[in-house]
Amino acid sequence: MTVETYTVTGMTCGHCAASVREEISEIAGVTGVDVNLETGAVTVTSDAELARDAVAAAVDEAGYALV
């Protein structure tokens, strides 16, 4: 199991956080996603290490940007 924390910009409400959580959750191997709206921190738990590009693509699909 790996845990990685990313910073996402552009989120302003609960709907934003839910969109990011939903998109990242669809990445194969992801077992948990915790979004801190106030800080923009997104903590992803997965079975194995994830490619940063995959996480960035999921965040982009949700309409936000990975820092």
Residue 40's domain comprises 2-66
The answer to whether residues 49 and 58 touch, using CB atoms and an 8 Å cutoff, is: no
Q: Give the per-residue pLDDT at 22.
A: 98
**CATH number of domain containing 56:** 3.30.70.100
Give the mean pLDDT of the chain.
97
Give me the residues of the chain with pLDDT under 50, please. Answer: none
Q: Give the per-residue pLDDT at 14.
A: 96
Residue 32's identity, in one-letter code, is G
Give how many domains the chain has, as a whole number.
1
Q: Give the per-residue pLDDT at 54.
A: 97
